[in-house]
């Protein structure tokens, strides 16, 4: 089997063996001590710092950077983890350019922010390398909480509840914990099995039981009623398991698949050279998922990869930094075009797009169309809530919660991507899970 | 987390970080914010006698020396003691101490050099419930022109006399704050001890002109075309302060005299260094005036981590630990031979080590055509200049030659410990028996 970039169809092994390792290496290699000290030195230790305001988990960034600057990265890590127990992953995957670093005063002053994400990784890596968990549990309360989903929201919620002395059982539908950290993020952002290692480290606090392959509502597993009968409170953090459809004929062709499936498969692949990828790959959508799928398709050896997005470049949900990364690896970004037909006789051959413009009633197609050669197409036009317990009110496609994360069902909280509010980011999910835990704690103490 | 609780001459505080008597401690508003931020104690800005308070200039009162990236390295001020009425300060001190009983609150004092003035103010301070007093014998500008501050601190006899009055007329612990603007810091410390001081604190600020306006031809900060010297503080003065603290800590006459270390403390590490040289606690001003009160959080977490790593159960285990290793030059081991080593892997080839050695030292670093820099052991006297100027941390290090090895520079074997007192070139050498 000697495939190359030019081999037609969806085939594995397009690259020589060495290239996979190189292509999927750490996209942002960690800072060494000297680099960290130079980077930390640039922080002004702002008062009421804009970076902290921009961080959904409100990490005290000036303090942790000062702690790095004074040679105590472990103290810095404690500052980070006390606000965000998944600070290690967030350091890798946060779109810092639109969050903390985007609001850094040195971005204003010089167009060059303090490297907050890289510094956060420096500190958290050091603490985690010690393989000692820095937090302890409060005396047992005798209360128990069921958490649905071992993604960022569920893990953050479970960890905080455990710290507060409650026992937690996490019910996870997939065979492994981590949620999108494990299944949904580009491999080069979290190398070396970091997502799994982070969960192991988090669970070292104790008091958290993890049940895998358990899906809410699935026969043989259990219902929300079952969980409420078993626990004093329930937190729903199951994320978004569905994907939006293109609603075009031919969508059921073999190589037209959700981008999330491709990303998950890639993350779980033991041998990347065995993973098939098309020669001409088209990704439809404009968010992080689209970019992650497109970039990784290129890195697996696809010759031509295009991201097609129906609105302008500026309106793409993927950050400019992400877009530039995609362009840098040779992905083509075609804005202002939407799919109108899928062509192929059994096997995918082409996708037809119409250009778009902003009309009086919103986005509209114009008569001009074009076709892209495609033997593989990834859909990345948004994810949707999967089956949800009927008693829980859903609004706008997400579980409705109040400011404290409470759903309409007493004793049931929700957070993360499955719930309304905030952007669908790891860091937002962590904040929501953590804050729901604090509210659950109040509820349990009161009740 | 390590136990940072501090007991300094019987004054307890949750950590050894106090704010020094200075602008940050002039009002209840500031001091309350400081306590909220986590400071262990404060020395309230210096009070003067009853009557109309002093006045300050109405132009700039601070001057500064910046390092790269406008980092504040040195700060100079011409502010005087508190310019608020005595009764207002006393009322606020009482109220703050009552609200924060677990924090140290010491009151700095400076009144005219007569017994009655001191007796009067001490009675007022005792009334507030403050934990102690600090005698400001250090302020080098303005007040010294009126016979107070450094004018007292520069005359050991005055220090002793005033300290004695304070101990006579008050049962409060008494800290004497020393001026560095003298030739031998041990003399005022000894005087304070003779007068009965419970502790000394040092250093106060150093006489300074931070810069000159080259258009106005006037020192800065400039007040209507003129400038006066001010008192210099901040990171730039730390080495001077460390030495003075160490001198008092190791002197036979003052050994055991508690010391509150002051001078450029900015991070936990600075504090730990002062404490290792004998300071029981530290006082901070410039770091707070540069970054706000929150800086104390890094000091607390850093010192705590350090103590945990060292296995120190209490700050007292750190205090004075480096004092036995401060010695006189004549006792340094002249048979301790080291050579610079340049890590080629880390070298970024800037050439600074080479040029400073070539131009200003011992011509011991060779430079090849292709910019490879190597140490010539036969020329290297181990002066450390290359290590100090290298922009890459740990790129140049010093290796120690073992005893018995041949030093390529002298051609002689490295011997066992021997110092100047027995060296043959020393005319005063005591003959080795």
Instruction: Please state the three-class secondary structure of B72-129 as a single string.
Output: EEEEEECCCCCCCCHHHHHHHHHHHHHHCCCCEEEEEECCCCCHHHHHHHHHHHHHHC
First to last CA, chain B: 53
Contact A234, A145 (CB under 8 A): yes
Q: How close is the nearest chain A Cα to the Cα of B319, in Å? A: 20
Q: Assign B262 to helix, strand or coil.
A: strand
Decide if A7 touches B, using CB distance below 8 A. no
Cα torsion at A194, A197, A199, A200 (round to 10°)? Answer: 180
Contact A303, A280 (CB under 8 A): yes
Structure tokens at A223: 């219902």
> Which segments in chain B show pLDDT lower than 50?
433
* Dihedral sign computed on CA atoms, order A61, A62, A64, A65: positive
| CB–CB contact A67 B393 (8 Å) | no
Contact B417, B331 (CB under 8 A): no
Series of mean pLDDT values for 10-residue runs along chain A (447 residues): 88 94 93 95 96 98 98 97 98 95 96 98 96 94 98 98 98 97 94 95 98 96 97 97 94 95 95 96 97 97 97 94 96 97 94 95 94 97 93 96 97 97 94 98 90
pLDDT in tens, A46-77: 999 999 999 999 999 999 999 999 999 999 99
Decide if A358 touches B, using CB distance below 8 A. no
Q: Which of A41, A42, A72 sits opposite B301 (nearest CB)?
A: A72
Q: How confident is the model at residue A447, as a pLDDT?
A: 59
| CB–CB contact A70 B306 (8 Å) | no
Q: How confident is the model at residue A1, as a pLDDT?
A: 54
Q: Helices in A172-282 by DSSP H: which ranges?
A: 180-183, 194-203, 224-230, 259-268
Q: How close is the nearest chain B Cα to the Cα of A75, in Å? A: 6
First to last CA, chain A: 65
Q: Please state the ipTM of this predicted complex.
A: 0.90
Q: How close is the nearest chain A Cα to the Cα of B302, in Å? A: 6
Catalytic residues of B: 139
Q: Assign A356 to helix, strand or coil.
A: strand
| CB–CB contact A75 B392 (8 Å) | no
| CB–CB contact A33 B393 (8 Å) | yes
Chain centre to alpha carbon of residue B235 = 9
Q: How confident is the model at residue B431, as a pLDDT?
A: 58
Q: How far apart are CA B192 and CA B173, in angstroms?
A: 13
Q: How confident is the model at residue A446, as a pLDDT?
A: 87
- Whole-structure pTM value: 0.93
């Amino acid at each position: 089997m000697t495939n190359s970039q030019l081999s037609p169809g969806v085939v594995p092994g397009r690259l020589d063996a060495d290239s996979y390792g190189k292509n999927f290496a750490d996209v942002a290699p960690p800072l060494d001590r000297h680099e960290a000290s130079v980077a930390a030195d640039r922080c002004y230790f702002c008062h009421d710092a804009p970076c902290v305001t921009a961080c959904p988990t409100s990490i005290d960034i000036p303090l942790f950077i000062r702690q790095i600057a004074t040679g105590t990265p472990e103290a810095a890590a404690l500052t980070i983890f006390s606000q965000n127990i998944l600070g290690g992953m967030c350091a890798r995957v946060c779109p810092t350019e639109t969050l903390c670093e985007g609001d850094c005063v040195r971005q204003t002053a010089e167009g060059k922010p303090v490297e907050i994400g890289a510094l956060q990784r420096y500190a958290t890596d050091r603490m985690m390398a010690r393989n000692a968990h820095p937090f302890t549990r409060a005396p047992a309360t005798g209360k128990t909480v069921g958490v649905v989903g071992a993604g960022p929201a569920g893990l953050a919620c479970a960890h905080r509840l455990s710290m507060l002395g409650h026992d937690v059982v996490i019910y996870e539908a997939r065979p492994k914990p981590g949620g999108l950290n494990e299944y949904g993020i580009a491999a080069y952002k979290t190398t070396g099995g970091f997502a799994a290692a982070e969960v192991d480290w988090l669970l070292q606090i104790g008091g958290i039981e993890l049940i895998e392959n358990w899906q809410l509502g699935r026969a043989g597993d259990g219902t929300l009623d079952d969980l409420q009968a078993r626990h004093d409170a329930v937190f729903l953090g199951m994320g978004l398991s569905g994907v939006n459809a293109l609603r075009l004929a031919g969508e059921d062709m073999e190589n037209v698949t959700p981008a999330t499936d491709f990303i998950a498969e890639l993350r779980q692949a033991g041998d990347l050279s065995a993973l098939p990828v098309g020669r001409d790959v088209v990704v439809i959508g404009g968010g992080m998922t689209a970019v992650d799928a497109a970039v990784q398709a290129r890195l697996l050896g696809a010759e031509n990869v295009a991201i097609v997005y129906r609105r302008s470049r500026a309106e793409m949900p993927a950050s400019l930094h992400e877009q530039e990364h995609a362009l840098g690896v040779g992905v083509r970004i075609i804005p202002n075009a939407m799919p109108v037909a899928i062509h192929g006789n059994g096997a995918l051959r082409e996708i037809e797009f119409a250009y778009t413009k902003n009309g009086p009633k919103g986005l509209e197609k114009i008569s001009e169309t074009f076709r892209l050669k495609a033997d593989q197409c990834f859909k990345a036009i948004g994810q949707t809530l999967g089956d949800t317990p009927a008693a829980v009110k859903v609004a706008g496609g997400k579980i409705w919660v109040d400011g404290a994360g409470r759903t309409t069902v007493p004793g049931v909280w929700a957070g993360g991507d499955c719930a309304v509010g905030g952007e669908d980011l790891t860091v937002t999910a962590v904040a929501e899970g953590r804050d729901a835990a604090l509210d659950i704690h109040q509820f349990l103490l009161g009740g | 987390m390590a136990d940072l609780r501090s007991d300094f001459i019987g004054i307890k505080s949750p950590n050894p970080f106090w704010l020094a008597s200075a602008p940050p401690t002039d009002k209840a508003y500031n001091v309350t914010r400081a306590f909220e931020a986590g400071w262990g104690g404060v020395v309230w800005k210096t009070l003067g006698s009853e009557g109309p308070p002093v006045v300050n200039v109405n132009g700039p009162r601070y001057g500064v020396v910046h390092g790269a990236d406008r980092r504040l390295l040195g700060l100079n001020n011409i502010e005087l003691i508190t310019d608020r009425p005595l009764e207002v300060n006393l009322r606020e001190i009482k109220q703050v101490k009552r609200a924060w009983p677990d924090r140290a609150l010491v009151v700095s004092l400076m009144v005219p050099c007569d017994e009655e003035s001191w007796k009067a103010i001490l009675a007022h301070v005792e009334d507030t419930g403050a934990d102690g007093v600090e005698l400001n014998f250090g302020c080098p500008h303005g007040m010294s022109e009126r016979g107070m501050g450094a004018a007292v601190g520069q005359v050991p006899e005055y220090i002793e006399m005033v300290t004695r009055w304070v101990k006579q007329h008050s049962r409060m612990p008494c800290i004497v704050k020393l001026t560095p603007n003298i030739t031998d810091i041990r003399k005022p410390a000894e005087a304070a001890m003779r007068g009965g001081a419970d502790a000394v604190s040092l250093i106060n600020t150093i006489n300074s002109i931070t810069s000159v306006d080259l258009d106005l031809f006037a020192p800065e900060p400039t007040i209507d075309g003129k400038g006066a010297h001010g008192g210099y503080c901040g990171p730039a003065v730390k080495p001077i302060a460390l030495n003075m603290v160490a001198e008092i800590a190791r002197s036979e006459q003052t050994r055991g005299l508690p010391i509150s270390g002051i001078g450029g403390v900015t991070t936990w590490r600075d504090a730990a260094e002062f404490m290792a040289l004998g300071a029981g606690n530290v006082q901070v001003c410039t770091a707070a005036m540069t970054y706000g009160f929150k800086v104390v959080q890094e000091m607390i977490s850093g010192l705590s981590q350090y103590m945990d790593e060292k296995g120190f159960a209490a700050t007292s285990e750190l205090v004075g630990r480096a004092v036995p290793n401060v010695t006189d030059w004549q006792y340094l081991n002249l048979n301790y031979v080291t050579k610079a080593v340049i890590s080629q892997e880390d070298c970024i080839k800037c050439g600074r080590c080479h040029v400073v050695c070539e131009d200003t030292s011992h011509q011991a670093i060779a430079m090849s055509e292709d910019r490879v820099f190597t140490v010539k052991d036969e020329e290297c006297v181990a002066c450390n200049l290359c290590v100090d100027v290298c922009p890459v941390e740990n790129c140049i290090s010093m290796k120690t030659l073992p005893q018995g090895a041949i030093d390529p520079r002298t051609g002689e074997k490295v011997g066992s410990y021997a110092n100047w007192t027995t060296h043959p070139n020393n005319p005063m050498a005591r003959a080795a028996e």
